């Protein structure tokens, strides 16, 4: 049974490695564009997106080091609840920022509509 789980683990690791290589090649070829990864649709930088990306990478790297650092490497028995709290706070910050931005854009369109009597040229959120 141990050999089957080891073979399945290596197959899964190989699949994920192949998927990662394909994604990196597509990024270098320009088929996957990352220029808007942490920016809004209008091109402005988004601090909430950047913070969400950094927190996710830090937690993923830490988790990877915990798994690989074991002797032998293994998945931890428990995942500390603080990790889920940090991810939740980070995701919540991003969601709240998007809600505030959407509300602001809707109000700006309403102000344009009442002052000019016509639809705004502002993009829909």
**What is 49-72 written as a DSSP string?**
HHHHHHHHHHHHHHHHHHHHHSSS
The verdict on 26 and 40 lying in the same domain is no
Average pLDDT (21-34) is: 89
Look up the domain containing 13 and give its range: 1-34
The mean of the pLDDT values for the chain is 83
Tally Cβ neighbours within 10 Å of residue 90. 19
Number of domains, the chain = 2
Residue 98 has pLDDT above 90, yes or no: no
Percent of residues, the chain, with pLDDT higher than 90: 14
0.75 surpassed by pTM? no
The verdict on 17 and 48 lying in the same domain is no
The verdict on 17 and 44 lying in the same domain is no
Q: What sections of 1-125 are H helices per DSSP?
A: 2-29, 47-69, 81-116
The pLDDT value recorded for residue 15 is 94
Which residues does 64 contact at the CB level (< 8 Å), separation at least 6?
A: none
The pLDDT value recorded for residue 25 is 94
Residues facing residue 45 across a β-bridge: 39
The verdict on 29 and 67 lying in the same domain is no
């Amino acid at each position: 049974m141990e050999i089957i789980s080891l073979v399945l683990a290596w197959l899964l690791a190989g699949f994920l490695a192949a998927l990662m290589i394909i994604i990196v090649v597509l990024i270098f070829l320009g088929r996957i564009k990352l220029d808007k990864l942490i920016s809004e649709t209008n091109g402005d930088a988004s601090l909430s997106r950047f913070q969400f990306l950094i927190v996710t990478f830090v937690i993923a790297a830490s988790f990877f080091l915990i798994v690989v650092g074991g002797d032998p490497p293994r998945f931890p028995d428990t995942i500390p609840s603080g990790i889920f709290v940090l991810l939740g706070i980070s995701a919540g910050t991003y969601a709240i920022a998007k809600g505030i931005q959407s509300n602001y854009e809707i109000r700006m369109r309403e102000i344009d509509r009442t002052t000019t009597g016509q639809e705004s040229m502002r993009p829909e959120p």
